[in-house]
Structures are given as structure tokens and as C-alpha cells.
Amino acid sequence: MSTLWPSLPLEEWEDTRATLHMWTQIVGKIRLAQTPLVNHWWNVPLYVSARGLTTTAMPYEERFFEMEFDFIDHNLVTKCSDGTTALVPLEPKSVATFYRETTAALGKLGIEVHIWKTPVEIPDPIPFDQDEQHASYDREYVERCWHVLRASERVMQEFRSRFIGKSSPVHFFWGSFDLAVTRFSGRPAPARPNADPITREAYSHEVISHGWWPGQGPLGKPAFYSYTAPAPDGLSEAEVHPGFYSKDLGEFLLLYDDVRTASDPDAALMEFMQSTYEAGATLAKWDRAALER
């Protein structure tokens, strides 16, 4: 197994992924509660760190605190600017137990944060403090997922560096459980009819997004994706390489297994992101000369 691009079949760790998804939502909602709104909800994601996923530093009264999923020692580590630290072991346990332990760990540090306890962007959500259903944690597959996030983040950072227009950080959205980077044309997008406030804020401007997710949902396998919003006419027929257009999902896909088994996985992923960006930006008539290096 390649340590950079390991095998990650969804069916082998779906229970763990679902549990970890809820854990990241708990920590993500703490970040949401402690940070001011940034355009397109850029204040809410987590970030790939040297040991896992982190919130980065957040203010709390006169101190700062940071929460990090450490996927090497397998702890949720909360560190404060006054030198105090608290740990919650990452091991098989229910979401409800993790929620209680995380709240208690913050309480020992003198931190009290109130969050909305209902998960988002999943069907049939169970409030965190009532969720005894999701309770799996397979260390090996969590580490594999983190390796994929690290490898993907490295290539996405390089891709991001080629664009001089407005671009998001490379960040991990805990709602949809995916790593993403987004480029902007600089032009406002038409309002989406009947869109909720979250969607209106996220897609207030023209974007081309790229990302990776483990494959939960109808696809059932991990993949990289690309979409242009609003989608210009002819996008679904555009030729890209590698990858293909999914009419069911309305976006371009490149299966993760096709990347990890490529002779040069980094190059294959970069080519997918570049070709899908060029297709979307050209058809949508972005001012590419002003936006690209």
C-alpha cells in the first residue's frame, strides 16, 4: 500500500467515516460559534495539519484555544494560549459519548461553548448528545484517510498558487466531509431561486470548485470532483482528461483509485483540475488573462 496514496475503499470503513463525520461536525460547530462570519463561510472549515485536522487558533475571552484531531496518537487535543491542554481519546465510542467528553474537556479548561447539536448536510440527523448509533473508529482507515487528505492538499495548494484572482484556502468542510479549493471569476452570480441563506452566501459569486470526498452518497467510492457554478452551456460536453462528467451529480469526477494507481498520481490530479478549470472558465467567459499566472 502506498503511504502517500493508500487504498481507501468506502465499504471497508463506512461506519468509521460516518462516526468521524459527526465528530468533526461537533468540533467544526465549536469553530463556527467562536469565529466571525467570513465570506462564503470560510470561517467554518477545518485545515489539514502536520498531525491531522485542526481548527487553528480561536479566541475565547482573553485567551486563544485550538482543537486538533491528532491522527498519529489518536486524540482530540485542545491547547490554550496559557499553556493548558486537554485530551479526548479517539477510539470506538458513540457520538454522544464523544460529545460529552469533548464538552467536559473544554469545561476543565474553563471554556464553555454552546452549539446547535443537530448535524447538517446528512439525511435523518440525530442530535449529537443522543447519537448512540455511530460508534466505530478504525485507526488504520482513519490514518489512510488522513494520508489522502495530506497528498490531495499538497497538490491542491500547488494548483491554487497558479491563480492570482480570489481563491479560497484549501480547507476541509465538515458538513459535506470533503477537502476543497475554490476559484472566483470576480463577478456576482445570479441569485438562486428559493436557496437557503447558507447556499446564497456560498454561491453569491461565480466559482469553479475542486475537491475530494470519500464517496458517501450515490457514488459509493472516493473521488475528486470539479464543478462550475453557475454551469455554462456546453459544460457537460466539454472534453477533459482525465475524468468524466457525471450527469447524475452535475459535475466532473475523477475516481480516487484512478489517481492512486496512476504512474504519477500528482500529475494526474493536477491535469484533472487544470483541464476542468479551463473548460469551465473558457465556457463561462472568465477573464483568464487577468486571473492566471
Question: Which residue is listed with cell 468533526?
Answer: 24
**Sign of torsion, CA 121 125 131 133?**
negative
pLDDT of residue 112: 98
Q: Does residue 1 have a pLDDT over 60? A: no
User: Which candidate, 95, 182, 51, places its Cα nearest to that of 66?
Assistant: 51
Q: Does residue 264 have a pLDDT over 60? A: yes
Distance of alpha carbon 191 from the chain centroid: 25
pLDDT of residue 61: 97
- Across the range 150-164, mean pLDDT stands at 98
User: Phi and psi dihedrals of 65, rounded to 5?
Assistant: -140, 150
Contact predicate 41/198, CB 8 Å: yes
User: Which candidate, 76, 32, 35, 34, places its Cα nearest to that of 53?
Assistant: 76
* CA distance linking residue 213 with residue 180, whole number of Å: 9
pLDDT band at 3 (very low <50, low <70, confident <90, very high): confident
DSSP secondary structure of 65-129:
EEEEEETTTTEEEEEETTS-EEEEE-SS--HHHHHHHHHHHHHHTT-------S--SSSS---GG
- Across the range 36-61, mean pLDDT stands at 97
- Across the range 83-111, mean pLDDT stands at 98
270-292 pLDDT per residue, tens: 999 999 999 999 999 999 999 99
Q: Does residue 2 have a pLDDT over 80? A: no
pLDDT of residue 34: 97
Neighbours of 122 (CB within 10 A): 17
* CA distance linking residue 93 with residue 34, whole number of Å: 26
pLDDT of residue 60: 98
| Domain definitions of the chain by residue range | 10-130, 139-291
Contact predicate 183/164, CB 8 Å: no
Question: What mean pLDDT is reported for the chain?
Answer: 97
194-242 pLDDT per residue, tens: 899 889 999 999 999 999 999 999 999 999 999 999 999 999 999 999 9
User: Considering the chain, what percentage of its residues have pLDDT values greater than 90?
Assistant: 96
Q: How is residue 52 annotated by DSSP?
A: E
Residue 219 three-state SS: coil
pLDDT band at 193 (very low <50, low <70, confident <90, very high): confident
pLDDT of residue 250: 95
Query: Whole-prediction pTM value?
Result: 0.96
